[in-house]
Amino acid sequence: MAPLVWLITGCSTGFGRELAVQILSRGDKVIATARDVSKLAALKAAGADTLALDVTADPDTIKQVTETAHRMYGKIDIFINNAGILMDGAVEETSPEEAFAIFNTNVFGPINMIRAVAPYMRAQRSGVIANVSSVGAWMAGPGCGLYCASKWAISGVSESVAGELESFGISVTCIEPGYFRSNLLNAGHRNRAQNLIADYEGTASRQMMDGLDAVNNKQPGDIAKGAGVIIDVLSQTGAAAGRPIPLRLVLGGDANIAVRQKCESTLALLDGWRGITTTTDHDDV
């Protein structure tokens, strides 16, 4: 079987780097990208092709880089929309510029990447697009509302695009990890609202932010194990052999528990208000 060609954004650290390393070890081809291509030197030495790519660049630039990636092997089998940033702070504390920055990186950039990759996959009538979201797409806590909102958005986009591209033989999934021991919460990767408001001290927003500090580098998820599962699922090999690619890949024991609790609480909410909220239809319906 010919090696698969993987295109991955955000490969300088975390899941992106680990995915690239493991994919190369399986004998597939990796086109690894990052804003600063110099940070991909180790991946290049390991056999990856590397390209400079900022997902917040203008659409024409993104298309040009994607075209360069496609020319390398004449195809892109699997694309992982991995690049993203974290922002914490109460919604009121987050400036319009900060709000745009997080949505630009976590939503608008990935959408532009989908626009750039999809034509090649449509032409070959095959491919996989995986958008990296978060367990935060299922629940938004105080102090990280905009981050969670951006992840809700990309999960929603994924569901729509899955239906739009299915006819072309393209599978789309949304990867929703729980807390993994990456560097996402470390200095230089985690962004905090600059104009913090004293009134929020001691409130749920600060408790959430302090909680992120406390869990940093103690997260239950193992990135190496998580990357292995992602690769199996997207390539339909190993533990996922013979199984269809799921619309959502909820990754991690903590994420599984959290999503189940969210589903159960949502059902309880529907049941509790059903007698009132279902009285709004026309009588002839």
**Active site (catalytic) residues:** 12, 133, 147, 151
Q: Is residue 79 a contact partner of residue 127, using CB atoms and an 8 Å limit?
A: yes
Q: Alpha-carbon distance 82 to 84, whole Å?
A: 6
Distances (CA, A) of 92 to 36, 70, 156: 32, 43, 24
268 by Cβ neighbours in 10 Å (0-12 / 13-18 / 19+) ranks as exposed
Which residues, at least 6 apart from 44, have a Cβ–Cβ distance to it below 8 Å? 32, 50
**What ranges in the chain are assigned the alpha helix state H?**
14-25, 41-45, 59-73, 96-103, 109-124, 145-165, 204-215, 223-235, 253-277
